[in-house]
Chains A and B, each alone.
Chain A
């Protein structure tokens, strides 16, 4: 007989079941505070970390630090933005939040793949077979066509130690001369512009400058979605700054700013010269600074005289009042900072455009002080590392291949014979591509980039593929457009599966850590390069490069005496404990070895360059550089009446999408098929309604897209996001003569209903 109390108990439990406020599904999401001191928010219990590790993000150049949450086995299970890192202050963009997701993608490469010549299929092979094929085919090519017939295209996405090892292996061990990386597509212009103007590739700013300015001028930059964590700093500016946004499109940043300057595409050089002219006329130049610290100003002043307001207004499509307004702001504000990125860098006269920005900063004395500067916002997470240690256009550590003393010095530090260091100049990306066409390059090694998607006028690449005797692709995924064309695919570990240093936009070295196991036989790029060195027979050259951190110490030594010197850094832990360290950074108490260096002797979290007005040129003066503006190479005409602009589509997408497309969350945050933005007036004229299927075509190819009608675009212009491979079938291959960076943002197209 059930007792009364047991009856009541079962009645109570029935009532509970009637309204189940708890249970397994509820507890799955109940959040608990993490262990004290981990500094992470409340998390569901299955995601509660045992420990956390600070690691710098591997997408863009902002260089945010992520607190990676790890389980007891050390495996990363989640992450949150690092709350104390001075770059991101506890914030991350969606890509950062999702940084671990692409590691678990189902199409990760788990073994090397070799194309079976009989079946034409890529088939899994062991590492020794893969290495044997690599060495056999590449050596055969060199034997038949000379050592320079081999080339590589790499990336700004791998750590500095790997870039340096790759560059050294290729040039000192394998006899290559022509090597380049995808940083050519994003930062080459800034590199060359700084190098020519300042004597060294030295972005002068620190992120605190976003907060210190009373006027910020963004030129060809859309940080709201391209660098949202930098925009965070702009929003933290307490000075109610003027925010001028120079952009043909009314971008998110243009809307958020205080003055949008919707100039005609690629008229920025004329605009900048016109501003310089008006500033000089107004007497708003800092003559004292110019006299003490620069060269060539008089010639520049004479040159810009012809850029009268009327001329500039006609060329840029802007009213004179707008020019005057910008000049008024620059002339009256105390701390003016200039910021540029791809809108400037990707142009047919981009180096001079960047230098026109530098000239404005120099002539108005807006450099070396808080909240000022001519500041290039970098693209990839390690573009800055690649600029110093890629070993492509300059010798490791910012040295000159052509200089025998430099070669001897570098050889001495590395303990190698100076004779293995070539003195010749490397071809740039486009010249390597041309070299394939002419038959000069017969073997190509592509590392962590997706040329078949991203290269300008990309339709040409598959045609060129057939001219290559052997194509090796080294990537996390075998599914990229380029990997699909390869003869040999090498499986690489990704960000989070290896250690090393990235350098961010503000010259801050940060450490990325190994917190996740790579799948199958995938290996860190560093390990792959070591294997190639051994298999090639030049392993002896790299005995000192025994680990990423040992390599870091070599690079640290190479930096000694250079403007980028960081000999004060003890090692990875030191960088992490200091929340990243900006170069230059010398040991406390060390003698400053280079009179040109303004290295502070104690660490500080925000440091900028040129406070003393001394630049890195021989005479310590910055140089005013300028050239006559030229029309863009392919202007819209009757047959192709629209100008096509391309660029980042959203904060959730990274370049060719090989990683960001692997995240369900990121895919939700942006259109999943190719679209083209068109102004309401043009759409109405052509009978194109929202979402209509259209075809955009240029003289080189065509792309199917759906129409997005938005008044944020000027009439006569179209915009397409670069994340879809069809876009670069349309682009016109024009290059800046100094930086050889492609001009992705201007080609003539037509649009019609599909």
Chain B
């Protein structure tokens, strides 16, 4: 057996060296391209970057741009997703367009059905063609659905954003996200019923489709449209309906009679009256009734948002304890020693909760803008109210022995009006924080998710405050309230909703842990000191709130089958 000879070794080095070398063939391929460009017309090329797929002029008054998807042309190649990804320079795992599948399985049509229909018509040859045609219409239905941002007339993302990081272009109607404005709170992710905005871990912000507005301005089609081999995606000008139809004040889940975009309502399962999405899904054939997304039965536990769990539970727990101390001695100048400790504990919890909210943000240094969205965003309102309440609540500490003695020693006597104001400050704080908790509840209810309906959000969050307030005052009342809150929570395990199924299956360990803590807590309420009870209660609430996030239903456009 010959050992590798020197010539082989030399060849190895040569080949490795040559493998690493890349020519930079500027001249050669520039020439090639000129030749190619010259022959473009001869080949009947579709060059021109899809200019024929976009409107010739800007939208007029009462109009905006919209995606149009021709379902008959879309046959599931999914090039739109990767075209968008590559031409827009998105991160590896980032996609602004998604594709999915819908079936119409509960129709009576089956492949055997087609054959049966055809067989029946064997005798009557003349009818065969017409019957075949109609049989094909009733045949089993599967349709690929491609989705990007729907550039809604009334965008939920925009309305929910606490820092006004979304803008709807007044002429084109394109909903643009301002990446340098975004604080990374992800609220838009929860607000959008179509799962469009996506959080980018690398940047700590959300990004989303901007309809390639720069391309449109230059007469180039959006990346997805130019990537579609069958020209199924185009940009059209649509009439804006928002001014004509009164905006519904309350969500009417499942009520679709007023749907401004019935096809999209049918495909997504979300009533399009909510945000008035503009994407037009068109087909020459009517869409079958009762469309089912291929991933409709897929259970998707949602992000736990631990920082938000801590924020919500601790602010509410803290507020409850402060309410309790306030109630126990509404008028006294000095709190009882146990109350002093409890109020310090409550204030500490409250402050920690506020700090935790910062940890939730992808871009905490931009958080100072949080007040900008007050006009429409419950998140803005919550942040401002809970924040403003903190200094007022802190005034309760003035009623401690330590503060009183320090004041007596070092401070000049305060005018009585100021003293009175300081005495009332915690009450004001409690009122503000109470409103803040209401806003906390509304943040989630405003996403219109079934699991986060007002009875659940307010019941859970108000319940936390109430039970925390009652624990130091009355064990029986605290126990009754706790049982009522548990009943409210357990109610969501019933039925066939995604939240119920999630809690009964993938999240059942969390449900079990929550129930174990609650069953330990009930006897503890009557025997243990308030401090111990509060800690146990807090642990139970943290578990409950984790479930609150993990088990929420997550509306989205149809996806591919997933286990």
Contact = CB atoms under 8 A, between A and B. Distances in A.
A5 interface: no
A89 B19 contact: no
Nearest to A679: B110
A50 B261 CA distance: 45
Contact of B78 (A73, A81, A652, A680): A652
B129 A325 contact: yes
Interface string B8-22: 110110011011101
A530 B294 contact: no
Contacts of A101: 92
Contact of B86 (A19, A53, A97): A97
A98 interface: yes
Contacts of B560: 650, 669-671
A51 B119 contact: no
A581 B434 CA distance: 76
B508 interface: no
Contacts of A46: 89
Using C-beta atoms within 8 Å of the partner chain, give the interface range for chain A.
35 or more
A309 to B, nearest CB: 9
A72 B47 contact: no
Interface in A704-745: 706, 708-715
**Most chain B C-beta atoms within 10 Å of own C-beta, residue among A320, A531, A690:** A690
Contacts of A530: 11, 15
Contact of B180 (A24, A93, A131, A650): A24
B215 interface: yes
Contact of B226 (A41, A259, A324): A41
Nearest to B228: A91
A669 to B, nearest CB: 5
B115 A317 contact: yes
A34 to B, nearest CB: 11
Contact of A235 (B35, B142, B230): B230
Interface string B541-563: 00000000000000000001111
A259 B24 CA distance: 51
Contact of B140 (A33, A81, A712): A712
B24 A706 contact: no
B110 A84 contact: no
Given A228-B229, A711-B105, A671 B563 contact: yes
A89 B294 CA distance: 32
Contact of A253 (B25, B75, B81, B92): B75
A508 to B, nearest CB: 13
B82 interface: yes
Nearest to A320: B122
Nearest to A17: B369
Contacts of B15: 523, 527, 530-531
Interface string A230-245: 0110010000000000
A91 B132 contact: no
A711 B356 CA distance: 50
A116 interface: no
Given A260-B136, A605-B43, A680-B105, A664 B125 contact: no
Contact of A135 (B1, B29, B115, B212): B1
B203 interface: yes
Nearest to B229: A232
A88 B20 CA distance: 30
Contacts of B299: 691
Interface in A336-361: none
B195 interface: no
Nearest to A651: B77
B12 A94 contact: no
Using C-beta atoms within 8 Å of the partner chain, give the interface range for chain B.
35 or more
B501 to A, nearest CB: 10
A78 interface: yes
A262 B111 contact: yes
B19 A51 contact: no
B247 interface: no
A51 B205 CA distance: 32
Contacts of A262: 111, 114-115
Contacts of A713: 111
B429 to A, nearest CB: 28
Nearest to A669: B78
B24 to A, nearest CB: 4
A44 B47 contact: no
A20 B178 contact: yes
Contacts of A6: none
Contact of A127 (B12, B23, B561): B12
B267 to A, nearest CB: 16
Interface string A85-120: 110111111100110010000000000000000000
A314 B280 CA distance: 45
Contact of A25 (B39, B98, B180, B372): B180
B296 interface: yes
Interface in B1-53: 1-4, 7-9, 11-12, 15-16, 18-20, 22-26, 28-30, 32-37, 39-40, 42-47, 49
Interface of A: 18-26, 28-31, 33, 37-39, 41-44, 46-47, 50-54, 70, 72-75, 78-86, 88-94, 97-98, 101, 127-128, 131-132, 135-136, 139-140, 224-225, 228-229, 231-232, 235, 250, 252-253, 255-256, 258-260, 262, 317-322, 324-325, 493, 497, 514-518, 521-524, 527, 530-531, 534-535, 537, 573, 576-577, 579, 605, 650-652, 664-666, 668-673, 675, 679-681, 689-691, 693, 706, 708-715
14 contacts: A21-B180, A25-B179, A31-B215, A89-B43, A93-B77, A98-B82, A132-B3, A256-B75, A321-B122, A321-B132, A523-B15, A527-B19, A665-B93, A711-B110
